[in-house]
Amino acid sequence: MFFVIILCILVFIYVYSSWTFDYWKKKGIKHDPPAPFLGTNSKQFLQKASMSMMAEEMYYKYPKERVVGFFRGRKPELVIRDPEIAKRILVTDFNNFYSRGFVPHKTNIEPLLKNIFFADGDLWKLLRHRFSLVFSTGKIKAMFSIITERAEKLQTLAEKVSEYDSYDARELMARYTTDFIGACGFGLNIDTLNDETSEFRKLGKRIFVRTPADATRGALKLIFPELCKNLHFLSSELEKSMNYLVHTVLKQRNYETSGKNDFIDLMLELKQKGNMVGESIEEKNPDGSPKTIELELSFDLMIAQVFVFFGAGFETSSTSSSHTLHQLAYHPEIQRKVQEEIDRVLIKYDNKITYDAVNEMNYLEKTFYESLRMYPPVAFLMRESAKKYTFPELDLSIDENMKVIIPIKAIFNDETYFEEPNRFNPDRFQSLKDMKNHIFIPFGDGPRACVGARLGLMQSMAGIAAILHRFDVEPSSESIRNPKTDPTGIVSENFAGGLPLKLRKRKCAM
């Protein structure tokens, strides 16, 4: 009798863990054989591959398919290989795919994930409408003096670093971007450029470090979403640190704008405008028109926006700018062309890295975009279907709440779309049109494209210009020409072991 009970339990567990695994087979979509509970995602659950690496693996494994089936735990998902279908998801039929799908429970969202990147539905729409004002060209110009100051401090730090035989360019640029965010986001002079042990720098690192405990919580939420809905993806120490940091700054300002024109000031200005009001993307009136929705911009919501501004601002910018330096170290002829442009432009601006100066560095911009093509920090895009949807190109129907993944790094490095994709060639971008199309979308596409893309671009280019104006970058004895991706990444990608380079002071530096 006992044996029968055990057998029944084992059968139940097996059926429960695999009862969805015929989903793609029934629809005729190719996929790898899934394993109970883990699906086809075991490598990510075990931190042997990032989410992007898993999608990239499926992309290359099925080269003749336009879409490929995938199972994250028990849940079926769809990997999109065709840029035209990706455009349909991101732009044409956006109203069916307005959710990113990172948050499993729409009504039980942990506080820090209620930000403009992770939020879905009406919360996202209200935040996007209100916060698009923060990243206008006028606002970026107004805060650019902060970037200029940090770029000059970066040059001073690089002077010290140039004495070393090797230094991690990723860490160098992370200290620059973290210092900028401290000033631009919080009005704080945290000086991470001179203090690599700064608490602010430690907090920045912690956001993107996935400990075994973090990985376990994440896997449990994905494998057992209902049982683990109260578990948080983010550690409690991050929530406490961000709450303390933001409320400390707000108290110092008596919860009023300070005139510093930083991110917290801008949010306080938005809060003074009253509740966020707009048309619902989720709910309709009886006549079919969108319902009018309203939401207070609470301090908890403000803290969530600060969190994503902090995390995304330093992580993606430092990764992309350091990778640009890495590529230039291995391509000295391109480095010379970039330096010649930087020298030529800066002499017109008294060697000051201003907004207008950076805006004139067209070849540097093409070089930066080519680096993004080869290694986009956000290497995949994800969306979730709001209702049952049929792809007309495929005659394929997917269910409501189905996640679709677009592996943009794989697309960017596919010779179908980019000639000699493994060659670093900024001249492949002959115009802005080449840099901005539905195939090359390093900042996303459609209504959910990165709202802070322009600020991130200008900040990164300023940092690169600051280094190359005074220094040459070369491979060091520790450099690896094709560095490996850190397999623990979740949303953004990073390099295992960093990007060690040698900085050498230019003889003709101004």
Confidence of residue 489 (pLDDT cuts 50, 70, 90): confident
Report the alpha-carbon distance of residue 279 to residue 305 in Å, rounded.
21
Report the alpha-carbon distance of residue 421 to residue 194 in Å, rounded.
38
Taking alpha carbons only, the member of 277, 280, 276 closest to residue 291 is 280
What average pLDDT does the segment 269-279 reach?
89
pLDDT of residue 365: 95
Q: Write the CA distances from 123 to 94, 167, 225, integer angstroms.
A: 16, 42, 21
pLDDT of residue 20: 86
DSSP state of 95: G
Confidence of residue 443 (pLDDT cuts 50, 70, 90): very high
Q: Is the pLDDT of residue 348 over 90?
A: yes
pLDDT of residue 241: 81
pLDDT of residue 112: 87
Confidence of residue 192 (pLDDT cuts 50, 70, 90): very low
CB atoms within 10 A of CB 89: 23
Question: Long-range contact list for 79-83, CB < 8 A, 24+ apart?
Answer: 79/55, 79/404, 79/405, 79/407, 80/404, 80/405, 80/406, 80/407, 81/407, 81/411, 82/393, 83/411, 83/417, 83/438, 83/439
Over the stretch 401-442, which tens digit does the pLDDT of each residue have?
999 999 999 999 999 999 999 999 999 988 666 666 789 999
Confidence of residue 111 (pLDDT cuts 50, 70, 90): confident
In 65-110, beta strands by DSSP E? 67-72, 75-80
Domain layout of the chain by residue ranges: 82-505
This prediction's pTM? 0.89
> Across all residues in the chain, what is the average pLDDT?
87
Reduced DSSP (H G I as helix, E B as strand, rest coil) percent helix, strand, coil of the chain, to 5:
50, 10, 40
pLDDT of residue 193: 43
Choose the weakest-confidence range: 134-138, 174-178, 505-509: 505-509
Query: Residues forming the annotated binding site?
Result: 450
Identify the CATH homologous superfamily for domain 82-505.
Answer: Cytochrome P450 (1.10.630.10)
φ/ψ region of 101 (left if φ > 0, alpha if ψ in -120 to 50, else beta) reads: left
| Strand (E) or helix (H) holding 438 | none
Query: Residues forming the annotated binding site for heme?
Result: 450
What average pLDDT does the segment 253-274 reach?
84
Percentage, residues of the chain above pLDDT 90: 53
Coil, helix or strand at residue 346: helix
Over the stretch 286-342, which tens digit does the pLDDT of each residue have?
888 899 999 999 989 988 988 888 777 767 889 999 999 999 999 999 999 999 999
